[in-house]
C-alpha cells in the first residue's frame, strides 16, 4: 500500500474517471479506463467532495458534521483508507 | 442498492460499510466490474483473470416478462455494461493476430454518423456505461470527433482504441475537446524493427510513441495494449517499461486469442508452454514491482489454460458488439457460428436486439449446455467458456470450450498448441483502394489477398 493520504492533500478525480448515476445499473457508478465500479452511498458522499479544492481534513470535518454521531477519528480513518485504495488503483489524484 | 445518494442514517453503518468491503481486500467500498472483455484494437476476447468480479451484475438481473425465445422459460436479462463500436474495418496496420473476421465490411457499408449517435443514445437507455470506439482503425473515419461527441452527449464514457497510425496531435486534440475519456494505444514490441514487422507497417512504432506522448500531454489517461505471441513474448518486461516511460497509467498484457486472422496465423504466433510460463511469472513480478504506479491487466493464454475464460462475461449478459455495417453481435467473433440470426441497428432498436434477437438468446442461460458443462459447479462462473472457440475447434458451439481440461476434446487444444511453424505472417488486409482516406502512406510489406 502506498503511504497514507495526507490531511492537507486535496484529492480529486483525474481526467478519465467520472462519477455518474445510472438508473438501469441501479445507482451510482465510478467510470474509469476499462473499468466500472459500483459506488455505495458513503463512497458517493466522499467522492463528491473530492473536487481538488477541499483538503482531506475539510472533507472529514464536513462528513463528521453531516453524519453526527460517528467519531471524527473513525471517519478520518475510513476516508483515508478509501482514498488510498483509489489512489493505488489510479482512480484518484492526491 | 437503491439509487440516489441517500444520506446514511447511523454512524455505525458508515464505519461498518468501509470495514466490510476493505476486508475483502478490494481496498474500498466499491464493487469491481469490468464492462467489456472483447474490445481491443487488435481485438482479443476476454480477460479470464478478472472475470469473477461481476457479482453485482447477476444481483441486478430482473425477470423479463416479454422474453421472446419460443417455448423457453422466462429469462433473466441483465443490463449490458459495455458496447464495442467497430466504426470501420479499414486499418493501416496488418497485424497477423487481428481477430477481425476474414471477410471485412467495406467502407460503403459503414453506418453513418447519425446512426451511430442513435445507437449510443439507445445504448445509454439500456444501461450501457462505456463505449469502446474500435475497428479496424477508428481514426480512419473522418467523422470521429462527431462520433466521440455523440458518445458524450449520450452520457456515456468513451474509450478510443487506436493503432495511433492515422491520428496526429491535431486530430487527437479535437477528440479531447469532443469529450474523449480515455485512449488505448496498441504497441507490437519494444524493439522497433520487430514492432514494425509485426504491424506490417514501417514507421508504425515511432508514430505510436509520438501519439502516446500527445495523449499524456493533453492529460488524458493512457492505456498501452500489448498483444503477446511468439515473436515478442520474451520482452514482456521491456514492453511494460516502455508503457511506463510513455506515461501510461495502465497496461494490458494480452496473449493472442485465436480468432479471425489470428486463427489463420496460429502456427506462426503460438508460443511454447515454457515461454508462456515465463511471461506469466514476469507479469506477476511486474505487478508487484509497479504497484500504485501502473495498473497491469492480463489476458491469459487460452490454449495453455486448464479452465476456459468466461467469454465476454457470458453470452448476452454484459456487452454488445456493433459491426461497421450495423450488425449487433454478442461478441466480435460470433459470426463464425453458423445458423445464428443477427439483427441490424438499421432495422431494430438496440433494446429490441438485446432482448429478442435470436443470436443473443441462442446461448443465454444454460438450456443449451451439454455435459460436462451442464452439471458443472463452475457453469455460472465461466459459462462453459467461449462459444466461438467451441465451434471452431469441435464443430459444435454447444460443446464445452475445449480449453477446459474437462472437455473430451481437450487433447485437441494441446495438440494445436504444439503446432508451431515459422511461416511468414498472413497479414490482415482490407484492400488499399478502400483504405485511402487514412492519410498515411500505403505501407510496404503488406500482401494483397483479394
Residue-wise pLDDT for B286-332, tens only, equals 999 999 899 999 887 888 888 999 988 999 999 999 999 999 999 98
Cell of A85: 485504495
Chain B contact for A39 (CB, 8 A cutoff): yes
Query: Residue B444 corresponds to which cell in the numbers above?
Result: 510496404
| Mean pLDDT (whole number) for B172-193 | 97
Cell 495453455 identifies what position?
B304
Cα radius of gyration rounded to whole Å, chain B: 21
**Rounded mean pLDDT, B143-160:** 97
Question: Could you tell me if A92 lies within 8 Å of chain B, comparing CB atoms?
Answer: no
Does B12 have pLDDT greater than 80?
no
* pLDDT at position B442: 33
CB contact under 8 A, B8 and A29: no
Shortest Cα–Cα distance, A53 to chain B (Å): 19
Cis upstream peptide for B304 (omega within 30°):
no
- How close, in Å, is residue A89 to chain B by CA atoms? 6
DSSP class of B234 = G
**Interchain CB distance below 8 Å, A16 and B4:** no
pLDDT band at B67 (very low <50, low <70, confident <90, very high): very low
Mean pLDDT of B342-359: 97
Please name every residue paired with B360 in a beta bridge, in sequence order, or none if there are none: none
Buried/exposed code over B265-304 (b: 16+ C-beta within 10 A; e: otherwise): bbebbbbeeebbeebbebbeebbeebeeebbbbbbbbbbb
Using the Cβ of B53 and the Cβ atoms of chain A, whether some distance falls under 8 Å is answered with no
Q: Any CB–CB contact under 8 A between B182 and chain A? A: yes
The C-alpha of B357 sits at a distance from chain A's nearest C-alpha, in angstroms, of: 20
Q: Which residues of A touch B26 (CB under 8 A)?
A: 85
Phi and psi based region of residue B378 (left: phi greater than 0; alpha: psi -120 to 50; beta: remaining): alpha
Q: What percent of chain B has pLDDT over 70?
A: 78
Could you give the CA distance from residue B215 to residue B217 in angstroms, rounded to a whole number? 5
Confidence (pLDDT) at B75: 53
Per the prediction, chain B carries an average pLDDT of: 80
Interface of A with B in 1-30 (CB under 8 A): 1-2, 14-18, 20-30
Residue B194: count other Cβ atoms within 10 Å of its Cβ. Answer: 15
Please, what is the Cα angle at B173 between B171 and B175, to 5 degrees?
75
Looking at residues B442-449, what average pLDDT do you find?
31
Beta carbons of A15 and B292 less than 8 Å apart: no
Supply the pLDDT for residue B299: 83
Distance from CA of B179 to the nearest CA of A (A): 10
Contact A23 B3 (CB under 8 A): yes
pTM: 0.82
Hey, which residues 46-75 in chain A have their CB within 8 Å of chain B? 48, 66-71, 74-75
Regions in chain A scoring below 70 on pLDDT: 1-3
Q: Cα distance from B441 to chain A (closest Cα, Å)?
A: 31
Q: How far apart are CA B115 and CA B417, in angstroms?
A: 42
- pLDDT at position B349 is 98
Amino acid at each position: 500500500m502506498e503511504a497514507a493520504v495526507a490531511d492537507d492533500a486535496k484529492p480529486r478525480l483525474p481526467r478519465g474517471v467520472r462519477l455518474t448515476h445510472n438508473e438501469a445499473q441501479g445507482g451510482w457508478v465510478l467510470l474509469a479506463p476499462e473499468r466500472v465500479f459500483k459506488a455505495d452511498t458513503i463512497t458517493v458522499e466522499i467522492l463528491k467532495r473530492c473536487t481538488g479544492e477541499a483538503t482531506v481534513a475539510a472533507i472529514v470535518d464536513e462528513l463528521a458534521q453531516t453524519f453526527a454521531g460517528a467519531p471524527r477519528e473513525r471517519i478520518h480513518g475510513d476516508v483515508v483508507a478509501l482514498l488510498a485504495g483509489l489512489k493505488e488503483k489510479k482512480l484518484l489524484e492526491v | 442498492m437503491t439509487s440516489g445518494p441517500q444520506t446514511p442514517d447511523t454512524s455505525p453503518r458508515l464505519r461498518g460499510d468501509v470495514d466490510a468491503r476493505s476486508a475483502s481486500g478490494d481496498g474500498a467500498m466499491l464493487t469491481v466490474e469490468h464492462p467489456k472483455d472483447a474490445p481491443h484494437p487488435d481485438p482479443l476476447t476476454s480477460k479470464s483473470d478478472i472475470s469473477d468480479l461481476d457479482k453485482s451484475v447477476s444481483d441486478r438481473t430482473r425477470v423479463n416478462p416479454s422474453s421472446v425465445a419460443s417455448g423457453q422459460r422466462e429469462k433473466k436479462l441483465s443490463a449490458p455494461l459495455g458496447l464495442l463500436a467497430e466504426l470501420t474495418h479499414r486499418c493501416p496496420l496488418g497485424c497477423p493476430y487481428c481477430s477481425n473476421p476474414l471477410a471485412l465490411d467495406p467502407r460503403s457499408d459503414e453506418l453513418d454518423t447519425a446512426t451511430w449517435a442513435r445507437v449510443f443514445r439507445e445504448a445509454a437507455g439500456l444501461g450501457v456505461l462505456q463505449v469502446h470506439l474500435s475497428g479496424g482503425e477508428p481514426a480512419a473515419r473522418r467523422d470521429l470527433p462527431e462520433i466521440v461527441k455523440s458518445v458524450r452527449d449520450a452520457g456515456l464514457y468513451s474509450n478510443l482504441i487506436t493503432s495511433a497510425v492515422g491520428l496526429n496531435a491535431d486530430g487527437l486534440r479535437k477528440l479531447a475537446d469532443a469529450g474523449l475519456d480515455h485512449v488505448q494505444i496498441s504497441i507490437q514490441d519494444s524493439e522497433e524493427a520487430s514492432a514494425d514487422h509485426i504491424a506490417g507497417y514501417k514507421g508504425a512504432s515511432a508514430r505510436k510513441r509520438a501519439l502516446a506522448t500527445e495523449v499524456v500531454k493533453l492529460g488524458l489517461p493512457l492505456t498501452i495494449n500489448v498483444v503477446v505471441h511468439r515473436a515478442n513474448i520474451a520482452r514482456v518486461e521491456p514492453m511494460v517499461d516502455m508503457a511506463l516511460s510513455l506515461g501510461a497509467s495502465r497496461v494490458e498484457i494480452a496473449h493472442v486469442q485465436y480468432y479471425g486472422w489470428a486463427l489463420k496465423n496460429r502456427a506462426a504466433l503460438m508460443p511454447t508452454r515454457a515461454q508462456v510460463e515465463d511471461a506469466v511469472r514476469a507479469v506477476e513480478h511486474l505487478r508487484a514491482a509497479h504497484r500504485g504506479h501502473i495498473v497491469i491487466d492480463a489476458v491469459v493464454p487460452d490454449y495453455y489454460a486448464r479452465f476456459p475464460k468466461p467469454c465476454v462475461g457470458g453470452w448476452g449478459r454484459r456487452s454488445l458488439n456493433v459491426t461497421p455495417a450495423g450488425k449487433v453481435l454478442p461478441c466480435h467473433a460470433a459470426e463464425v457460428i453458423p445458423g445464428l440470426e443477427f439483427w441490424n441497428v438499421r432495422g431494430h432498436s438496440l433494446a429490441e436486439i438485446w432482448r429478442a434477437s435470436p443470436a443473443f438468446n441462442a446461448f443465454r442461460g444454460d438450456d443449451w449446455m451439454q455435459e460436462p458443462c451442464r452439471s458443472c459447479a463452475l457453469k455460472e462462473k465461466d459459462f462453459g467458456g467461449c462459444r466461438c472457440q467451441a465451434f471452431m475447434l469441435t464443430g459444435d458451439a454447444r460443446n464445452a470450450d475445449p480449453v477446459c481440461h474437462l472437455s473430451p476434446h481437450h487433447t485437441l487444444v494441446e495438440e494445436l498448441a504444439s503446432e508451431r511453424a515459422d511461416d511468414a505472417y498472413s497479414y490482415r488486409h482490407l484492400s488499399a483502394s478502400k483504405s485511402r482516406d487514412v492519410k498515411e502512406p500505403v505501407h510496404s510489406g503488406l500482401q494483397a489477398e483479394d
